[in-house]
Amino acid sequence: MPSSSSSETPLHVVILPFMAKGHTIPLLHLTRLLFLHRSNIAVTIFTTHANSPFIRQSLHDTKASIIELNFPQKFHPEIPQGVESVDKLPSQSLLVPFCKGTKFLQPEFDTIFRSLRPNVSCLISDVFFPWSLEIAAKLSIPRLDFDGASNSAMVFYDILMTQEFLVDSDDELFSVIPSLPDIKLTKNDIEPEFSNPQPGEHTDFYTEVIMATSKSKGIIRNSFYELEPEFVDYWNRENSPKAWNIGPLCLLATKAVSCAEKPLWIQWLDERLEKGKSVLYVAFGSLAEVTVEQLREIAIGLENSGEHFFWVLRLPEPSIRDEFMSEFEERVKGRGLLVKNQWVDQVGILSHECVNGFMSHCGWNSVLESICESVPLLGFPITADQHLNARMVEEYFRIGVKVVTRNGSVRGFFGSECIENKVKELMDIEGEKGKEMRKNVRIFNEKARNAMVGGGSSWRTLNLLMDEVICNNA
Ligand code: UDP
């Protein structure tokens, strides 16, 4: 990738990542990209004490400075003291109270941010920190929002929330705008809090987010034009501020820090490769809550599919000793590997030669990482924008399949038979659909890689963003 000469104006970008891995990781990749793009740049990242080790380790080979903020002591009765990230919350239903609690970081952030002035060219902060707009506006420093979701998801949410859609009362399908592809959305694909907002804490918080975003200088999105062109065009034609697509950022992921011994699961994958086996990787991101009943159906579906699989499971402590799961593990020994409550190098796993399918909750980072390793997906959405992403995977990108209930919904309880059939469909490498999705995902992989090098769409977008917003303030 090209980079600028050191004679250019020195820049200083301040980054404020939200404390959830799916939000933090792409911003760490963006930091790496900024250093690649310009030699004369300083990057300062603000985080909390508990989140700092992960960030320091990820950016150990860069010159990024890290400033630690004091996370508030007990601020909500159900959020235990010491919990500084979303993955540590006792329940994901506490997300909004947690987000609101981050406002207690504001006074310390404002003071330090002010002291860095006049050297700051730009603040890039997560959409979940609407309060960060205030100090940036006061100091006339442009704030760019980082929004880790896809353009399509944000367009769908926007259409829904601005009422520019028609709902067919019979089957509840949205007839979307003519300039957009006809994705068979249902009301059910959107979280009820958005499709039917009620007055209260949730609506208040998201209104605050939308207001702050509308006053920002732009939105940085982790996507690339060639992946969802109609949606990028639609957003930038119908909405403001402008969305700058600078991705896929996972292409900046570095190899895991070398350790004397390969993790157990990589050794296991190596063995499958030696035996000429194809493996399905099963993982639902860093936050997803799956019920024990649903986990059991997934287990039976995987067992009955006859495929080799590697399943990374996040479970609450008591479920780890679940008798059903222990017996299941015993039965599938040799062909299925389960790893519980461990952080794995997902990009490294997807890049393993024997991994030929990814059963995923379709968090946007996971979708992009799968594309960048040419691995087709089986969408198993759980919450947030994942239902929309799963539809896009099968119906628009055509790089995978998704689970569906009998009435065509991608939300609900999925029985083992559905899971078994979808796993077989995904892993049928020689079948017509299997070949087609693998061909499509390879094409997107190539487009993604081209987008991120000099002359590519994401690289050009970053050049423009530098010229129009960041350097303008240097
Ligand atoms: N991830 C990882 N190891 C894990 C769990 C997650 O590397 O054990 C990474 C994954 O590669 C992705 C991010 O965490 O970059 C999860 O983001 P995504 O949008 O897929 O899902 P979320 O966790 O936000 O639901």
389: Cβ below 6 Å to ligand 1?
no
Of 38-47, 249-258, 290-299, the least confident:
249-258
What spacing in Å lies between the alpha carbon of 428 and ligand 1's midpoint?
Answer: 26
Per-residue confidence (pLDDT) for residue 350, from 0 to 100: 98
pTM: 0.96
> Residue 220: CA atoms inside 13 Å, Cβ hemisphere, count?
32
pLDDT surpasses 60 at 257: no
Average pLDDT over residues 302-320: 89
CB count within 10 Å of CB 317 equals 7
Average pLDDT over residues 364-373: 98
290: Cβ below 6 Å to ligand 1?
no
pLDDT surpasses 60 at 420: yes
Per-residue confidence (pLDDT) for residue 149, from 0 to 100: 97
Per-residue confidence (pLDDT) for residue 308, from 0 to 100: 98
User: Which comes out higher in pLDDT, residue 409 or 54?
Assistant: 54
What spacing in Å lies between the alpha carbon of 168 and ligand 1's midpoint?
Answer: 35
pLDDT per position as a tens digit, 317-348: 767 677 888 999 999 999 999 999 999 999 99
Per-residue confidence (pLDDT) for residue 170, from 0 to 100: 46
* Cα separation, 63 vs 59, whole angstroms: 8
DSSP-assigned states of every residue in 185-231? -BGGGS-HHHHS--TTHHHHHHHHHHHHHHTSSEEEES--GGGSHHH
CB count within 10 Å of CB 359 equals 28
Per-residue confidence (pLDDT) for residue 387, from 0 to 100: 94
Per-residue confidence (pLDDT) for residue 169, from 0 to 100: 46
pLDDT per position as a tens digit, 20-49: 999 999 999 999 999 999 999 999 999 999
346: Cβ below 6 Å to ligand 1?
yes
Cβ burial, residue 312 (10 Å; 0-12/13-18/19+): buried
- Rounded to two decimals, the ipTM of the complex is 1.00
What three-state secondary structure class fits 59? coil
Which residue has the CA at smallest separation from atom 15 of ligand 1? 365
Question: Phi/psi zone of residue 23: left (φ > 0), alpha (ψ -120 to 50 degrees), beta?
Answer: alpha
pLDDT surpasses 80 at 161: no
pLDDT per position as a tens digit, 80-96: 999 999 999 999 999 99
Per-residue confidence (pLDDT) for residue 155, from 0 to 100: 92
Give all strands (DSSP E) within 24-136, no chain letters.
41-48, 65-69, 122-126
> Distance of CA 4 to CAs 35, 290, 372, Å?
10, 47, 26
pLDDT per position as a tens digit, 436-449: 999 999 999 999 99
What three-state secondary structure class fits 473? helix
79: Cβ below 6 Å to ligand 1?
no
| Atom nearest to 362 CA in ligand 1 | 20
| Atom nearest to 288 CA in ligand 1 | 25
Give all strands (DSSP E) within 330-442, no chain letters.
336-340, 355-360, 377-379, 400-402
pLDDT surpasses 90 at 454: yes
pLDDT surpasses 80 at 164: no
Per-residue confidence (pLDDT) for residue 316, from 0 to 100: 75
22: Cβ below 6 Å to ligand 1?
yes
Per-residue confidence (pLDDT) for residue 260, from 0 to 100: 64
Per-residue confidence (pLDDT) for residue 173, from 0 to 100: 58
Is residue 359 within 8 A of residue 282, CB to CB? The reply is yes
Per-residue confidence (pLDDT) for residue 1, from 0 to 100: 54
Per-residue confidence (pLDDT) for residue 17, from 0 to 100: 98
